[in-house]
Amino acid sequence: MDLLVLILQGVIVSATSLVFAAIGELVVERAGVLNLGLEGMMVLGAIAGFAVTLDTGSYVVGIAAAAVTGAIAASLFGFLTQILLSNQVATGLALTIFGLGLSALLGQGYSGESTEPLAKIHIFFLSDIPIVGPLMFSHDPLVYLSLALAVGVAWFLAKTRTGLILRAIGENHDAAHAIGYSVVGVRMAALLFGGACAGVGGAYLSTVQTPLWVENITAGRGWIALAIVVFSAWRPGRALLGAYLFGGVTIVQLHVQGFGIDIEAQYLSMLPYLVTILVLVLISHDKARISLNAPACLAKPFFVSS
C-alpha cells in the first residue's frame, strides 16, 4: 500500500510538466493553430526558469520568467505564421531547433549549478491522513497549479463566451472573421498562453523535478505533449488523463525493472510510447469522430483577401 502511494506520487511528478505543455497546446490547437515548437518553448522555459530561480533565489520570479520566455518564443512563431503567413509545420519545427540551440547557448554558464528543490506544501491535519494525505495534500504548488489550469481551461472553453469565440475561430476562421471577430488577435493570444504554459512545463522539469540544467533537458517531452493533445481529442480532461497515463506507464516500467520482473528493458522503455500510439490508434479508428473533434481550421493559414 505504501509503495503504491509512493508510485502514484512519482507518477504525479513525472506527469506535471506534460500537463502544462499539453493544456497550453490544446488551447492553441482549438484556436486553429498547430505549434510544433512545443519542445523548443519548453526547453527555453526550462533554462529561463532555472537561471532566474538560481540568480534571484525566488521560484515565483523564476517560474514567471519561464512563462514570459515561452510566450516570447510563441510570439515569434505567431508573428511568422499569423502575420507573415509562413507554413505552421515548418515554422514550428524551426522553433524547436532554434529553442534547443538557444537554450544550450544561454545555459553554458549554468551547467554544474543547482538550486534547492521547491518545497512541498504541508497542510495541518490534511497532509497527515494516511494515503489520501500524501496523494492529495502534499505536493509542490505547481502540481496544484497544473490541475487548476486543466480545470480552468475546460471551463473557459466550454462555458465562456470568449472560449466559444476561440473555438469558432478554430472551426471556421472565415465565418468568424465575417461576423467581426479578430482571428489573428485571438490566435496570437492563444499562442502566447500556450507558450507561457510550455515555458512553465519546461521550468517544472529544471526547477522542481531535477533542479539542474543540462542541455536538451526536456528530452522529447514536447513531442509527447503534442501526441497527448491528439490523444485527448482536444478535450482538457482527457489531456490531463493522457499526461497521467504516460507518466504512469513511465514510472511503472521503472518499478517493474526494480522488482526484477523478467521483461527486456528495451521493451519497457518503449512502453509509454507504445501505449500512446495504441490509444491514438484506438481513438482514431472512427474517422468521423476524430474529424468531428479536430478543429476544422487546424494548421490552415488565414488571410483576408480583400
If DSSP codes are grouped into helix, strand and coil, which group holds residue 261?
coil
> Quick check: 123 and 61 in contact, CB under 8 A?
no
Lookup: cell for 198: 510550455
Binding string, 114-153, against other proteins, x = CB under 8 A?
x--x------------------------------------
Residue closer to other proteins by CB (options 121, 294) is: 121
Q: Which amino acid is at 178?
A: A
Tell whether residue 87 is a contact of other proteins (CB under 8 A). Answer: no
Tell whether residue 1 is a contact of other proteins (CB under 8 A). Answer: no
Tell which one of 229, 230, 251, 297 touches other proteins (CB under 8 A). 251
Q: How far apart are CA 289 and CA 179, in angstroms?
A: 28
Pick from 193, 189, 157: which is nearest to 82 by CA? Answer: 189
Residue closer to other proteins by CB (options 173, 221) is: 221
Tell which one of 124, 125, 258, 287 touches other proteins (CB under 8 A). 258
Tell whether residue 10 is a contact of other proteins (CB under 8 A). Answer: yes
Residue closer to other proteins by CB (options 41, 153) is: 41
Tell which one of 101, 152, 185, 237 touches other proteins (CB under 8 A). 101
Tell whether residue 35 is a contact of other proteins (CB under 8 A). Answer: no
The Cβ-side half-sphere exposure at 286, using a 13 Å CA radius, reads 8
Q: How far is CA 24 from the centre of its chain?
A: 6
Q: How far apart are CA 304 and CA 174, in angstroms?
A: 9
Residue closer to other proteins by CB (options 82, 209) is: 209
Determine how many CB atoms are found less than 10 A away from the CB of residue 142: 24
Tell which one of 172, 255, 271, 290 touches other proteins (CB under 8 A). 255
Pick from 275, 190, 158: which is nearest to 227 by CA? Answer: 275
Shortest reach from residue 168's CB to other proteins, in Å: 34
Tell whether residue 91 is a contact of other proteins (CB under 8 A). Answer: no
Angle at 40 between CA 44 and CA 77, to 5 degrees: 105
Q: How far apart are CA 272 and CA 207, in angstroms?
A: 24
Shortest reach from residue 270's CB to other proteins, in Å: 9
Binding string, 183-222, against other proteins, x = CB under 8 A?
----------------------x---xxxxxxxxxxx-x-
Q: How far apart are CA 158 and CA 145, in angstroms?
A: 20
Tell which one of 264, 281, 305, 306 touches other proteins (CB under 8 A). 264
Q: Which amino acid is at 243?
A: A
Helices of type H across 232-264: 236-258
Q: Summarize as ranges the residues that interact with other proteins (CB under 8 A).
A: 3, 6-7, 10, 13-14, 17, 96-97, 100-101, 104, 107-108, 110-112, 114, 117, 205, 209-219, 221, 223, 250-251, 254-255, 257-260, 262, 264-266, 268-269
